[in-house]
Structure 1
Amino acid sequence: MTLRVVLGIRRVPWHRGCRSDPAADKLKPQIYHGCYGVDAVIPNRMLAKIKSFLNGDEAAPEAAADETDGMAAAAVAVLVEAALLDGDFDQRERDAIVGILVDRFGISADDAGPLIDVSVSQHKDANRVYAATRQIRDTFSDAERIDMMEMLWEVAYADGILHDYEANLVRRVAGLLYVRDRDSGMARKRVLERLGLDITE
């Protein structure tokens, strides 16, 4: 994948655990340090592309096929869909998605909220999950798709309970992303350990 950076365009690895720099959050355009091994600029153009995709603009994923914005758009669509399956999108699930967008995509918490709201308003579109998973499958590396499954498990377990329909969605998404059951299971185990949940099912 490629990422627009302060001094140009550079291909860099995506890794978990990065966080925005609080001091940089005050700058416009917003600058985040360390998420992709470089100082990255997250411009308003990116946020506009994400909103465009979430609103059903089929051109948006193609226009951003190799950029972080397209990846974030697809990810938030799938994560919100998982959170809404039980009909109760509670604060814990919302906080989990905000944390993922901040930690893994370098989007500020202030910008993450409106993106989630746009996605919630569009969740009844049955084709959205397929469009989002296609974007993820075509853009993410094997390791990044496994990371995506970890994000999905994190949202599914945000309320401490995994409902049958949430488990079904996770399995369906794993299949659409060509992620093996073993890899999805390991991602689930990491989430349970991180959340301190003792679930043996």
Structure 2
Amino acid sequence: MIRALLDKLTQPAPTPLDGADARLAMAAILVRLARADHDYSASETAEIDRILARLHGLSPDDARALRCEAEALEAEAPDTIRFTNAVKAGVPIEDRIALIEAAWSVVLADGDRAAEEDALMRMIPRFLGISDVDSNMARQRAAARL
């Protein structure tokens, strides 16, 4: 399944992703962000699990399984620009905004905003077609939930 999704993501003109592929690709972006500072902490994995459960109505075990799949996908995924552009092409705008809010939750989960995470959070919304204003509002919503 991961190989097939990677093939879709690396095509010159990515096709829209179905529900399961979109869910996995967006989860992998969260993993990439959490790994950016080379400190993939338990608080970050727990936050990703909570996010996946909330966004997709998953049980804790199913959310954990999706995160584990996303970890494998992220490890093999192309560079962030191509990866996020493929998600942009295949995922509706409202889901991409929800992804940015979730991404801010991951960044804020360990209480330490590392420079690497901040750098990705300046890039990822833009690559996903999300404005700075919408990203900032998503950050505020994420911070309010902590």
TM-score between both structures, scaled by the size of structure 1? 0.62
CA RMSD, Structure 1 to Structure 2 (Å): 2.7
1:140 equivalent in structure 2: 91
2:123 equivalent in structure 1: 172
- What's the CA shift string for 1:132-169, capped at 9, x where partnerless? 41332123332222111101000011101211110110
Deviation at 1:88, TM superposition (A): 1.6
1:152 equivalent in structure 2: 103
Cα 1:114–1:143 shift into 2, 3 Å: closer
Cα 1:194–1:98 shift into 2, 3 Å: same
- What's the CA shift string for 1:18-40, capped at 9, x where partnerless? xxxxxxxxxxxxxxxxxxxxxxx
Check conservation: 1:61, 1:70, Cα contact below 8 A: no
Paired amino acid for 1:177: L
- Any gaps of 5 or more consecutive residues in structure 1? 1-48, 196-201
2:136 equivalent in structure 1: 185
Paired amino acid for 1:95: A
Q: Distance in 2 between matches of 1:176 and 1:194?
A: 25
Paired amino acid for 1:108: S
Cα 1:142–1:114 shift into 2, 3 Å: closer
Question: Highest relative contact order (Cα 8 Å, sep 6+), 1 or 2?
Answer: 2
Which structure's residues are more often strand, by fraction?
1
Check conservation: 1:74, 1:135, Cα contact below 8 A: no
Cα 1:92–1:141 shift into 2, 3 Å: same
- What's the CA shift string for 1:55-90, capped at 9, x where partnerless? 86314898x835221211111110001111121211
Q: Distance in 1 between matches of 2:139 and 2:126?
A: 15
1:127 and 2:78 matched: yes
Check conservation: 2:16, 2:91, Cα contact below 8 A: no
1:43 equivalent in structure 2: none
TM-score between both structures, scaled by the size of structure 2? 0.82
Paired amino acid for 2:30: L
Paired amino acid for 2:109: A
**Across the two proteins, how many residue pairs are aligned to each other?**
144
2:16 equivalent in structure 1: 65
Check conservation: 1:70, 1:135, Cα contact below 8 A: no
Paired amino acid for 1:85: A
1:105 equivalent in structure 2: 56
Cα 1:60–1:175 shift into 2, 3 Å: closer
Q: Distance in 1 between matches of 2:7 and 2:79?
A: 10
Q: Distance in 1 between matches of 2:93 and 2:69?
A: 28
Check conservation: 1:77, 1:128, Cα contact below 8 A: no
Cα 1:183–1:106 shift into 2, 3 Å: same
